[in-house]
Each structure stands twice: as C-alpha cells, then as structure tokens.
Amino acid sequence: MPDDVTALSRRSLMMAGGATLVGIGSAAAQGGAGQGTPGPQRPVDTGKVENGKVTFPNWRGPSDRPSAPPPAPLPPAERVGFAVVGLGRLSLEEILPAFGACRKAKPVALMSGSPEKAKAVAAQHGIRPEAVYGYDGWDALARNPEVKAVYIVTPNAVHRDQVIAAAGAGKHVLCEKPMAVSSAEARAMIDACAKAKVKLMIAYRCQYEPYNREVVRLARSEKYGKVKLIEATNTQTMSLPEQWRMKKALAGGGALPDIGLYCLNGVRALTGEEPVSVQAQIHSPDDDPLYREVEETVAFTLRFPSGALALCSTSYGAHETRSLTVQAEGGAIQLQNAFAYQGQRLFLSHREGKAEAKEERVLGEKNQFALEIDHMATCILEDRTPRTPGEEGLQDQILMEAIYEAARTGRSVALKEPERSVAKDEKDRGGTARDGKPLDRTRGPEPEDAG
C-alpha cells in the first residue's frame, strides 16, 4: 500500500477514535446516552467518590480475586512529617524510598553525621536544606513544626540517647529494632517518652507485613487445631569485620539481636503468649576474626504456656534462610522468606480425604516499611497505642538476656510474666484472652488493614 494511503488510513482511524471518545465524554457529562453509547454511563470504569475516596465495583469474575481499591493517600499537607535519623544503608535503600508508598506520612527532615551525604539525600527527596541537622541538632529540630515524629535508624548502642533526645524535643519516636543493647536502656527509653507524653514504637516490620499477619491469623484461629511446634530460622553470612554490627560496643551482640530477634519476636507475635522457659546454645569459630567480639550462631528453644515449643536458630555464618513453619494437630503452615523484605510465599498442608493437600496462598505484596511508618502516623493522628510499643521491645531485650544466660550456664532459664504491659482499656487493648490469660500483653491494637 502506498505511503500516502497508509498515512491517510491511520489519520482517519485516529480522527474517528477521537470523535468517539469525545462523544462518550459528552454523553457522560450530560448524564445520558450519546450516539454509540448503550445508555447512561455507570461507574464500572469511571468509578465514584465515597467519603472522599474513589471506588470501583469489582470487574472480575467470581473465580478471580477482586482487585485492591486504588490508594487513597491523605493530602500532602495532612500527612505526618518524619525526620529520619541516620542515613546508612537501611535508610537509603529501604526506608526513604518507602515513603513513596506511604499514605499518611512524608519525610520532612534528616539528621546525619555526614553533611555532604545529608545534603545530597535531602535534594533527592525534596527536603529543605534548612531541615537537615547534625547529630547535635536536636534543639533546632525541636523548633521545626513540620516534624511530628522521628525514625531512629542508627547503631543499636546510640538508640537510647537519641530516643531520649527526641522525646525531649517533643517528637514521637519510631525506633529500629533491636530497641537497645540492654533491658535497662529500654526501660529508660519508655520512661522518657512517657514523661514527655510522646508515643514510642519499635519497628518490627514483620508484624505489619500481610503474609506474617496471615500466619498469625491462621495459627490463632486454630484452623488446623492447636499449635504444637514452631520453627523459625534466620541466617546469613557476613564478611566485613570493620562493620559496626561486628562491634559489641555498638551492636550489643551478634546474630541474636540483629537477625535472631526476628525469630524471637515472630514466635511471640504468632502465639500472643509469653514463654515460660528458654534453653540455648551459642557457637562461634575460634579462628575467625569476624567473631572476636560477637557471636556467630545461636539456637534456642522457647516453651509457651499452651504447650507449644518454638525451635529458633540464627547465624551469621550460614547461607541465607528466612523461614517460619508452624506444625499444628491437623496441618502445617510454612512461610518462606518470612523475615525478608519481600518475596514471601505461604504454603498450607493438611489432610483432604485420603490425600495430603498442599496449597499455596497468594496475597497482595506490600512494602513493609511503608506499612509500619503509616501505622505510626495513624497512631499519632488518632491518638492510639502502636501495635509494637516500647513494651514490646523491652520484653525482647529481657528475653535475649535470658537466652544469653541459658547459653552461658547450660541450664534452662525460667521466665516471668512481662514486667510492663500496655494499657488494656477498650482503646488500647491488644489480644483477647486464652484460657483466662490475656494475649498480646506488650502490644497495642491490631494494625489497620492497608487495603
């Protein structure tokens, strides 16, 4: 076909299509039917506004999952402003990018010991140069009305002083795990925030991640009967002895407080109970300079009041594995990549007649950091207790000290009830009761569903 004929044909099609779209749009604007439209426009594809949010009816058939509703973020001026304290790998690779998926929070300030790096990062994220502070800039940060909360993302040993400084500046605090390097420091942090009347939340991201939440729901519902055994493994390999995680003065310990904490906190969150005893073993290679100050491998067993046993293992010297398995009376639940930033896969096994049924449950993947940040923002906006408040972090610190003691002595260590529980009124209550004992004693209400 000649080029001029081809061009004419394409031009004719485009003009015809444009006229059709204009006709449909005009008919929709008039609330009636136009030529070529089969009646009044309905919100099947255009949607409708309900309570300030755009909604669409489900367009998929009954055999497919309905699509998630469109995001409904707060207007930028109404979102909670956060100052990110510490600009290491986690902040730059995960936390600051996650604000792009947040609906209720925004980054408005930075605090760093590296002015050049802070200046570059501020420009990347649209943060005003005057809202960039050094680690001695708490007084100036206190005077910034845009900052409602700070996210502490620094080495473990400086969490206490920075949380106390943030509380003194009148700012709510989201602090990375582990909360501190000792239970004494954790208590001081809780007390400082309570005195300043600001909220303190520990960044246990997995408690906000959809797949981990589904495992908790399945286990607590006793879908497959009572839980008998839980296996939690979190391992990876390390190579740089000069990294701060390999320095006891900064990290407080090795694999246990860094990645083993996910196992400890994960099984506690799963059952909602607190363990009554712990046994543990620790091993570090004698000839490896990586482990001159901190431990390489830890294995520990927790016994819960319901009779469930949790077998947990963590290591800095084993190939990356991040798994959570629940063995119940009538079935099993396995979560692969349970403690990873992404890639979770959930498998269920149970009897079905004379066969063993194995199925994969697929959920919508969401940014864990955005979920936890938005939860903190919700708690600030609605004056709620966070799901993972300071009391949750304190309890893990107490239990890690017991794990170290059990490994040192070679004996089982009996554990007490949590020394501090969150408020249990209607607004702040965590879990319901089991066998007459309340669950989630160190946790606030369930986090909101992100849709």
C-beta of residue 110 within 8 angstroms of C-beta of residue 140? no
Are 308 and 373 within one domain?
Answer: no
pTM reported for the whole predicted model: 0.88
Judge whether 256 and 172 are in contact, CB under 8 Å: no
| Among 204, 224, 262, 404, the one annotated catalytic | 262
Provide the mean pLDDT of the chain: 90
Are residues 232 and 183 part of one domain? Answer: no
Domain residues for 305?
210-365
Q: In this predicted structure, what is the pLDDT of residue 54?
A: 81
Write down the pLDDT at residue 14: 46
Of 63 and 82, which is predicted with more confidence?
Answer: 82
Domain membership of residue 23 (yes or no) is: no
Indicate if 165 and 254 belong to the same structural domain. Answer: no
Pair (150, 223) in one structural domain:
no
109 & 189 share domain: yes
Tokens of 183: 């239970």
Active site residue 366: no
Asked if the structure places residue 411 within a domain, the reply is no
Judgement on whether residues 336 and 285 belong to the same structural domain of the protein: yes
Same domain for 216 and 321? yes
With beta carbons less than 8 A apart as the criterion, state whether 280 and 410 touch.
no
What pLDDT digit, counting tens, does each position of 304-347 carry? 999 999 999 999 999 999 999 999 999 999 999 999 999 999 99
Same domain, 332 and 225: yes
446 and 371 share one domain: yes
Do the domain assignments include residue 283? yes
User: Of 106, 148, 171, 177, which residue is the catalytic one?
Assistant: 177
Q: Are residues 280 and 426 in the same domain?
A: no
- pLDDT: which is higher, 332 or 29: 332
What is the rounded CA–CA span in Å between residue 43 and residue 3? 42
Catalytic (active site) residue 262? yes
Is 380 a domain residue? yes
CATH code of the domain containing 306 = 3.30.360.10
Q: What is the mean predicted confidence (pLDDT) over 124-133?
A: 97
Q: Confidence band (pLDDT; 50, 70, 90) for 128?
A: very high
